[in-house]
Amino acid sequence: MIGVYDSGYGGLTVLRELQKELPDVDFVFLGDSGRAPYGGRDAHAILDLAESCVERLFEEGCRLVVVACHTVSCVGLRHLQQHYSNDNRRILGVTIPAAEAAVARHPRAVAWLGTTRTVHSRTYEVEIHKLDPALPVHGIAAPLLAPLVEEGLGNGTDAEGAQLTRLAVRRYLRHLPAETDCLVLGCTHYPLLSEAFQAELAPHIHLLDPAPVVARALSDWLRRHPEFQETGTGSLRVLCSGDPQVFQRQGSRFLGRELPTVQHISEESGRLAHRSGPQVPQGQVVREFRKF
């Protein structure tokens, strides 16, 4: 069973590609939607959130966890690997496959778009320069885009929503250096804005969605690590820390099909536990004091 982790719904665009590439593998997806967005948060806050999510996935029985979230991959992947990886457990991210795919196109200049924290980390720049130190790389923070997608705007039939997203995309693309011919979508949500990107980008600029690349990289990794290969039935379980009904409804836009029943996990004293009782409590919540 492979765990896939994202701050919210966006990672379902990655899961969709993983399931296409590995149809017999069983997956558990954890979307931390109750605590998203991560993109504007402090790096240490992101590490705290990420620790509780990967621990939950290991407790679910996963031996391998894919961090689909670009923000977490850019800021906290090394920390998570150093803390949790051993002969029996591994954690993989999205930044290295995405950087390799960008460099493999031999572009004149690469730009990548992501959350504020992703861009400030400069991790993409570091990974790309390990492969080609002379390649110009430019990061653009686009904090409005993920929330627009979460609101259901972007690709689709809502004309006003499409106009709004095109305006936001246009505003960020203004910062593209002139020589750019490859734009990396460095956020799990952006594939849902592909129509706005295609409309606003010059035709010679290649739009690189890392999700299919990550799927091929995972399949290649599994071939090289047969001890982590497990044959399953292609099953899927979905856990989220937000409202599970909303997650189920919204998530289908990202996964491209209906989601199975979403289970609620809730944060209690830094841990993500399964919830019984009302999924989303209303009114005041009183609980036992753990520490003071």
Residues annotated as catalytic (active site), given as ranges: 69, 187
Draw the binding track, 149-188, toward ligand DGL (x: CB under 6 A; -: no contact).
--------------------------------------xx
> Is 123 among the residues that bind ligand DGL (CB under 6 A)?
no
In contact, 57 and 30? CB cutoff 8 Å: yes
The residue at minimum Cβ distance from ligand DGL is: 39
Burial of 36 from C-beta contacts in 10 A (0-12 / 13-18 / 19+): buried
Listed ranges 46-54, 111-119, 170-178, 191-199: which one lies at the site for ligand DGL (CB under 6 A):
111-119
Closest approach of ligand DGL to the CB of residue 159, in Å: 25
Q: Which is closer to ligand DGL, CB of 19 or CB of 121?
A: 121
Listed ranges 110-118, 204-212, 216-224, 261-269: which one lies at the site for ligand DGL (CB under 6 A):
110-118
Closest listed residue to residue 193, CA positions, set 13, 32, 4, 20: 13
Q: Give the residue, chosen from 38, 124, 247, 254, that forms a contact with ligand DGL under the rule CB under 6 A.
A: 38
Closest listed residue to residue 139, CA positions, set 95, 104, 106: 95
**What are the tokens at 143?**
């904090």
Closest approach of ligand DGL to the CB of residue 47, in Å: 14
Q: Which is closer to ligand DGL, CB of 37 or CB of 179?
A: 37
> Is 121 among the residues that bind ligand DGL (CB under 6 A)?
no
196: enclosing H helix or E strand: helix 194-200
What's the one-letter identity of residue 98? Answer: A
**Torsion angle of alpha carbons 162, 20, 119, 54, nearest 10°?**
120
Closest approach of ligand DGL to the CB of residue 35, in Å: 9
Q: Which is closer to ligand DGL, CB of 38 or CB of 112?
A: 38
Rounded to whole angstroms, the Cα distance separating 243 from 255 reads 17
Q: Give the residue, chosen from 3, 7, 107, 113, that forms a contact with ligand DGL under the rule CB under 6 A.
A: 7
- Could you tell me how many residues of this chain bind ligand DGL (CB under 6 A)? 18
Closest approach of ligand DGL to the CB of residue 149, in Å: 9
Instruction: Tell how far CA 84 is from the center of its chain.
Output: 19
Which region holds residue 152: left if phi is over 0, alpha if psi is between -120 and 50, else beta? left
Closest approach of ligand DGL to the CB of residue 226, in Å: 30
**What are the tokens at 14?**
């990655």
| Local structure of residue 89 (DSSP, 8 states) | B
> Is 71 among the residues that bind ligand DGL (CB under 6 A)?
yes
Rounded to whole angstroms, the Cα distance separating 63 from 88 reads 6
Please give the residues from 183 up to 222 whose contact with ligand DGL meets the rule CB under 6 A: 187-189
Listing DSSP states for 84-138 in one string gives: H-BTTBEEE-SHHHHHHHHHHT--S-EEEEE-HHHHHHTHHHHHHHHH-TTS-EE
Residues near ligand DGL, by CB under 6 A = 6-8, 10, 36-39, 69-71, 114-115, 118, 146, 187-189
